[in-house]
Amino acid sequence: MGYNDVTREAVLSAVAEFDRVGRAEFLRAAGFGRAKHYFLDVEGRLYDSKAIVGFAHGVSGDRPWRSPDLLGGEKTVAARLRTLGFIVRFLDADWTWDEIVLACALVEGNGWRTVAQEDPRAIELSRLLQSTAIHPLEMRPPGFRNPAGVERKTGDLVSRLPRSGRKQTNGNHLDEKVVQAFLARPDGMRGEAEVIATVLREWPGEPEVVPDVDLEGYAGKEGGVLLKVHLRRERDPSLKPRKVAQAKKNGVPIACEACGFDFYQTYGERGQDYIECHHRVPLHVTGPIDTTLPDLALLCSNCHRMIHRSAPWLTVEELRKLVVQNRSGSAEEPDHGR
């Protein structure tokens, strides 16, 4: 028997059994772990899709499927459930850079040991991660960032320690990067964790909608909440005119400080004084301060995005070196009198 033999009635029987015994017992008896992304939605309640189909296969046919017997995903489990008229939701709530930084700060403060879910610090971090600053409510699976999940993540991080002697857990591709960052620059990472925590505590009840390509396609998983706040500061409408006026007063071209691109030279009048402003020092280093003109750099749109493409963000000087190194035949850095 295959996926096509699973019936709607069998799926509803699986849902009924899930409701009767609860998620934890259903998953244990069915031989499945918690779903990561695909969930069956029945009247607003979410069910782990692979486990439901595995159980339903036992109702429809010769035997229940266990986890090794089937593949989850859009083309298998989700496709069959949708064919049967069910709603399947894809929820993306992987741990982000910001969340992992907070968990790693907890681990470091616990002597690089796993923090138990009963620990008040794990409970407090779980509460903090319920902020809508990172994950909208509609994208959260059941049990989102509960204390047990915090304990699992701290265990993931401990397993990434060099010579920890522990087998690495599956975790997240960012776990090792964050651990290495804490080992290389502990003071800076502690400061970053403090700022992230402050942002989450002060975030409004509803998630902020930022209709801007700046947040599409880069840094979404690496520093997303700080990037939102950083860009919001940079969009202060008074900043760019003041910075441009200062550059003109000093006889400096209105051109990118990293690559030298000049919008006016390329687009004529349409590009006159067009440029983006970038805060040289990230929020997690400065904390919430009033911006002064020396804090700002003038960047073209491409370079601005390259700086924020992944964490840790590049400095303007580091990006300028990359440009010089990768330009064929270029031997000198752009000179803008800065």
pLDDT score for 135: 86
- 3-state SS of 264-284? HHHHHHHHCCCCEEEECCCHH
pLDDT score for 308: 80
Contact 107, 161 (CB under 8 A): no
- Provide the β-strand partners of residue 297: 278
Which residues neighbour 183 within 8 Å (Cβ) at sequence distance 6 or greater?
162
pLDDT score for 84: 96
4 phi and psi angles, rounded to 5 deg: -65, -15
How far apart (Å, rounded) are the C-alpha atoms in residues 62 and 56?
11
98: its two tokens = 């910001």
How far apart (Å, rounded) are the C-alpha atoms in residues 153 and 126?
11
145 phi and psi angles, rounded to 5 deg: 50, 40
Quick one: how far is CA 106 from the chain centroid? 18
pLDDT in tens, the chain (338 residues): 588 889 999 999 999 999 999 999 999 999 998 888 899 999 999 999 999 999 999 998 778 998 888 876 788 899 999 999 999 999 978 899 999 999 999 999 999 999 999 999 999 999 999 998 888 888 899 889 999 999 999 999 999 998 777 788 877 889 999 999 999 999 989 988 998 998 899 887 654 544 454 444 444 444 577 777 777 777 777 788 888 999 999 988 899 999 999 999 999 999 999 999 898 876 555 455 566 788 889 999 899 989 887 766 789 999 999 999 998 655 455 555 44
pLDDT score for 73: 76
Nearest to 100 by CA among 225, 261, 238: 225
Helical packing angle, 175-184 and 147-159, nearest 10°: 70
pLDDT score for 223: 55
CA dist 291 → 175, 284, 295, 329 (Å): 32, 14, 6, 38
Helix boundaries (H) for the chain: 8-21, 23-30, 49-60, 77-83, 97-109, 120-128, 147-159, 175-184, 186-202, 224-234, 239-249, 263-267, 283-286, 301-307, 316-326
pLDDT score for 338: 47
**Pairing relation of β-strands 38-42 and 87-90?**
antiparallel
242: its two tokens = 């003041």
